């Protein structure tokens, strides 16, 4: 089993271009797995972890409701935002500047074959990261992602998650609001959940945070939780 992960920093990149790139990587791993099984070979499958920051974009998961996008086409243009229906789980979310987006493209057969565990460990990596800044991240039953203030009238989501898998290979991932302009969330029903707010690390702590520093902390916890041998 290959527990090394190729870390790819895409910096600022268009959502559709990144989605296409993810799809290419996933398909290349799936093709190798099929080849291994067909030919009886044991060529190690690669794993990837993409970091990216998207321009303003709204994405709707395959089970999502279009009614949760509160803008028409002209209003999207006014906001400088784009919109895509995509093939991950979950409903609607926003990506934009000041947000750390991570897309692990892992062959889970290199780690463990348990989607529930995969999502819980992704959440745990974020919970441990924001704890280093004094924020108590929590899970909300039945609602994937990381929240603050669960069980209070002030529950608010700080990190959204949505994934897709094919033959145990993952794509899509998480979006942690660090220095994000939260006003863009006013144009959707975030994750299809009414009556709950969205927050960011900046909003909670009253200061902007160095994105590179937060990224390093996420990688540290991801490495430990997934027992990654090395990022390459």
Whole-number pLDDT of residue 194:
59
Looking at 191, 214, 219, 228, which residue is catalytic?
191
Ranges of each domain in the chain = 4-53+93-231
Sign of the torsion formed by the C-alpha atoms of 7, 232, 42 and 115: negative
The reported pTM is: 0.94
At 45, which helix (H) or strand (E)? none
Reply yes or no on whether the pLDDT at 190 is more than 80. no
pLDDT (0 to 100) of residue 64: 85
Q: Most distant CA pair in the chain: distance in Å?
A: 57
Question: Does the pLDDT value for residue 167 go beyond 80?
Answer: yes
**4-53+93-231: what fold?**
BirA Bifunctional Protein; domain 2 (3.30.930)
Q: Output the known binding site for substrate.
A: 88-95, 160-162, 173-175
Residue 159: active-site member: no
Q: Which two tokens stand for residue 16?
A: 């559709």
- Work out the mean pLDDT of the chain and round it to a whole number: 94
Tokens found for residue 40? 């009886």
Please state the rounded mean pLDDT for residues 37-52: 97
* Residues flagged as binding site: 88-95, 160-162, 173-175
Does pLDDT of 222 surpass 60? yes
């Amino acid at each position: 089993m290959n527990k090394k992960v190729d870390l790819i920093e895409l910096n600022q990149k268009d959502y559709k271009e990144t989605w296409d790139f993810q799809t290419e990587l996933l398909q290349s791993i799936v093709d190798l797995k099929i080849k291994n099984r067909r030919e009886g070979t044991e060529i190690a499958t690669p794993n990837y972890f993409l970091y990216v920051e998207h321009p303003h974009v709204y994405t709707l998961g395959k089970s999502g409701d279009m009614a949760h996008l509160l803008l028409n086409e002209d209003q999207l243009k006014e906001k400088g935002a784009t919109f895509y229906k995509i093939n991950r789980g979950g409903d609607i979310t926003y990506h934009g500047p000041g947000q750390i987006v991570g897309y692990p493209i892992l062959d889970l057969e290199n780690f463990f074959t348990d989607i529930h565990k995969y999502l819980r460990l992704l959440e745990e990596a974020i919970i441990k990261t924001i704890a280093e800044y004094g924020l108590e991240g929590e899970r909300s039953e039945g609602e994937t992602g990381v929240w603050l203030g669960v069980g209070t009238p002030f529950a608010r989501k700080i990190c959204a998650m949505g994934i897709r898998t094919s033959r145990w290979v993952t794509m899509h991932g998480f979006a942690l609001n660090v220095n994000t302009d939260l006003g863009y969330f006013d144009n959707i029903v975030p994750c299809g959940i009414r009556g709950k707010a969205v927050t960011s690390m900046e909003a909670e702590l009253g200061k902007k945070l160095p994105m590179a520093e937060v990224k390093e902390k996420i990688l540290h916890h991801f490495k430990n939780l997934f027992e990654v041998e090395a990022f390459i």
